[in-house]
Structure formats: C-alpha cells, structure tokens
Amino acid sequence: MKDEFDEAELELQEGEVKQFYVTLANDTTEMQSYCTDVDKNTPKGKDEFEMIDSGLCAYCEFKELCGK
Ligand code: SF4
C-alpha cells in the first residue's frame, strides 16, 4: 500500500505565466549566444569566454577541460 499524499495546487498570479515565458525566452537566447551551431549544441571556442576567478574553480568538474 502506498503512502497517502496531497496533491499540491499551483497558484499563479496574473502575469506570472507571461513573465515566465519572457524569462525562459531570454535565458534560452543567452545560452544559444554561446553556441556556434545551436542545432548541434556546438559551443564557441574557449577563448570567446571570459575567464574569471570566482573561487569555484577548485570544485569545478570541467577544470581538466578548461585548463585553468
Ligand atoms: S575551472 Fe571551471 S569554473 Fe574555473 S574557469 Fe574553468 S570552467 Fe570555469
């Protein structure tokens, strides 16, 4: 027998769906701007990305590829 559960209802305010759509569209456009080929998800060259010292490099899974 499975545990009982209550189904949560999503409460949206007017305009939140439109704002979510705008945020999603903007974020998608920004992510795609880092690709040379969006359909193949091919990223731009490494030298086209700004290198920053954020303190996160020590924990980064991509450090080996990055070379930082
Ligand atoms: S090591 Fe990771 S976090 Fe640091 S610059 Fe490279 S990709 Fe970015």
Phi, psi values for residue 39, rounded to 5°: -65, -35
How many Å lie between the centroid of ligand 1 and the Cα of residue 30? 19
Query: Does a structural domain hold residue 7?
Result: no
Q: How many domains does the chain fold into?
A: 1
Determine, yes or no, domain membership for 62: yes
Choose which residue among 46, 50, 57, 65 to substitute to test ligand 1 binding: the one with the highest number of ligand atoms within 8 A of its C-beta. 57
Tell me, what's the pLDDT at 43?
A: 93
**CA pair distance 46, 62, nearest whole angstrom:** 12
Q: What span, in angstroms and rounded, lies between the C-alpha atoms of 66 and 64?
A: 6
Full DSSP string of 22-49: HHHHHHHHHHHTTEEETTTTEEPPGGGS
Give yes or no for residue 58 CB within 6 A of ligand 1.
Answer: no
The pTM of the full predicted model, rounded to 2 decimals, is 0.61
Distance, CA of 19 to CA of 32 (rounded, Å) = 20
- Domain span at 41: 16-66
Per residue in 2-46, pLDDT (tens digit) is 778 888 898 989 899 999 999 999 999 999 999 999 999 999 998
> For residue 1, what pLDDT is reported?
64
